[in-house]
Structure 1
Amino acid sequence: MTRPTGRVLTLLELLQSGGTRTVAELADRLGVEGRTVRRYVAHLIDLDVPVESVRGRYGGYRLAPGYRLPPLMLSDDEALAVLLGLVAGRRSGLMTTGHTASETASAKIRRVLPQHVARRLDTLLESLAFTDQPGEFATPDAGVLLAIADAVRHRRPVSIRYTDRNARRSERTLHAYGIVAHSGRWYVTGTDPEIGEDRTFRLDRIADARTLPGSFEAPVDPDPAQRVVSGFATAEYRHQVTLRIHGTVEQIRAQLPPAVARLEEYDAPTADQDRATERWLRVEVRAERLDWLPPVLASLDRPFVIERPDELRALVMAHADRLASYARQA
């Protein structure tokens, strides 16, 4: 912010964060001289904001203890960031309380904004278009999300009541390593101490979560996001697909990312080759349906061999016949 009013508000935000701020620190953060900081402090005092002057070597300015600032003071840029964040979160499914909370939060922000700022923000949101359709995802319970986040931070076991995709209910203990947002859903990943295996659970399927006594040691650099992505590629699904595709790792990953497929060497590169060299790679995919694979294989435009299942081979041939028939149409 370059306007004096904007700098005064920034000064107020800095003081609100707590503690005593030296004149030199404030001047550096605001990009002004020390005497200008003192003038801004005087402006705040004129507005009945109780700014105290602290003398001594480590002196400066601070807010009086117990002072409560107005509930919302947003600059134009901050208001825009909050509103766009609410819109993006609602469309992507990464909201923890459904559409109603985000809509009421947006309405509250608009009510307290100056009219000219609210009008400009509304104009932007009305003009904004998205290339994808809004997601329709089940949202996790906020209490469950916060309870698991606390268990992750303090490395405490957590008991969860879970309903799987087949509507089977169970209660289990989890050593949670992290929370991951992926493709519009929230997941928690960790170890099930009873079976000693890594597990990943959808947060919207957890009905209750409570921390338990004790603690656990997490593995070094557990990388929760990588565990979730790898878990998708190895999970049990209706169909187990094995392919051999001739190409580079990068070419195949462009259409079959780690969350979808596992890659293994079929023809290992020789000493004078590298990962950018085209070669045969074995690709394993687990899927509930097969109808999406023929278009993906066609878009790869690489030689491939279907090892299993035969059903996929028939679907690919049918897809090729449809494309040929479309091409023959006048």
Structure 2
Amino acid sequence: MMSSTARLLQLLSLLQLRREWTGAGLAERMGVTDRTVRRDIDKLRELGYPIQASAGMAGGYRLGAGAQLPPLLLENDEALAVALGLAAVAASPVAGVAEASVRALTKLEQVLPARLRNRFATLKAAVTRIGRPSDAVDPQHLTEISAAIASRRQLSFEYARADGQRIRRVVEPYHLVDSGQRWYLVAWDTRRGDWRTFRADRIRTHPSQRARFTPRDLPAGDVAAYVQEAISRSPYRYDVSVRLHGPVSDFASRVGLSAGQLFPDGDQHSLLRAGWDNADEFLGWLFSLDVDFELLGPPEFIDRCRQLSARLARTVDGAQ
């Protein structure tokens, strides 16, 4: 005879399978009496499942939407479909969804049976997306990092620096930050004894968990602002300042986190602070904004802007 726990799980699975069941239909499907179905429905309600009932000949039971999300029962193929969907979103971040996708994928992978984890890995490796960004991150890396953050364990991995050199890193992971274009890991670098921001797409090996660590105070109260500072200015040769003619709201959608930081400069102007290595690349990007601006520094960029302006003036004069 089926145990009460197994019967509850079967009943919950049936309620998720069809929009509405009659009591007699559930009893026949489960091989129990109508009275047993009613008792089991009451037990599920006590556990927090919002099961609605309607009276009459056409009445029955249905699983409604509640204020709290109860555990879901997924068939094998459903679990694989959800995992693959979450992995796709995590690899190509969608604003406001990507971080939640990584957390959900981490939880799902932890409870997948071994046979399903193997099938998931095989399917994920076999799928190729057209238009996939060259710096896309492996969702498996994100879930492994997320799990280490939750368990407060050090991570070891090979990391590719900007010059292409691969080095071994052992870090204490604290936060994953989605910039809308890339994933970044905020961590304490045990070798350098300092805070570092790592691009997740440059992690070349599967992060492996090591010893537990005692949490440290974060380098900033606002982790997102800390990462923006790190990726938009700190790693670059020049710290560029530009006054844009227009309020911050005019440029917020056109200046991404990795391009620079925007600050209000009065009611009708904005101050852009950005890090760049190459003046020509920056000026080309700046002109693409199609807005009046004042280049405040550094001097090398101002001199280069004058040279390009003179060249453009000569070109226009020659065309006349």
Q: TM-score, normalised by structure 1?
A: 0.55
Give, in angstroms, the shift of residue 189 of structure 1. 1.5
Partner of 1:41: 26
Given candidates 155, 160, 164, the residue that maps to 1:158 is: 155
Given candidates 280, 304, 309, the residue that maps to 2:294 is: 304
Partner of 1:228: 227
Aligned length: 259
Which runs of 5 or more structure 1 residues have no equivalent in the other structure?
1-14, 47-51, 62-67, 107-129, 270-276
| Residue identity opposite 1:162 in structure 2 | Y
Partner of 1:49: none
Partner of 2:165: 168
Listed as ranges, the matches of 1:190-229 within 5 Å are 190-193=187-190, 197-206=194-203, 207-217=205-215, 219=217, 224-229=223-228
Partner secondary structure for residue 186 of structure 2: strand
| Residue identity opposite 2:135 in structure 1 | F
| Residue identity opposite 1:231 in structure 2 | A
CA contact (8 A) 1:173 1:192 kept: yes
The 3 A distance-change label for structure 1 pair 71 and 202 is same
Partner secondary structure for residue 212 of structure 2: coil
Which runs of 5 or more structure 2 residues have no equivalent in the other structure?
1-5, 46-72, 106-121
Give, in angstroms, the shift of residue 152 of structure 1. 0.5
Listed as ranges, the matches of 1:118-267 within 5 Å are 134-137=132-135, 139-140=137-138, 142=140, 144-193=141-190, 197-206=194-203, 207-217=205-215, 219=217, 224-263=223-262
Partner secondary structure for residue 279 of structure 2: coil
RMSD between superposed Cα atoms in Å: 5.3
The 3 A distance-change label for structure 1 pair 37 and 327 is farther
Partner of 2:110: none
CA contact (8 A) 2:173 2:186 kept: yes
The 3 A distance-change label for structure 1 pair 159 and 92 is closer
Q: Percent identity?
A: 18
The 3 A distance-change label for structure 1 pair 41 and 313 is farther
Give, in angstroms, the shift of residue 304 of structure 1. 0.9
The 3 A distance-change label for structure 1 pair 135 and 148 is closer
Given candidates 274, 284, 295, the residue that maps to 1:285 is: 274
Inter-partner Cα distance in structure 1 for 2:235 and 2:160 = 16
The C-alpha deviation readout for 1:6-36, integer Å capped at 9, x for no partner, is xxxxxxxxx999597599xx69x9775xxx4
The C-alpha deviation readout for 1:217-276, integer Å capped at 9, x for no partner, is 3657966544433321232223332334444233354443443223467x6x5xxxxxxx
Q: TM-score, normalised by structure 2?
A: 0.56
Q: Is residue 2:283 matched to residue 1:294?
A: yes
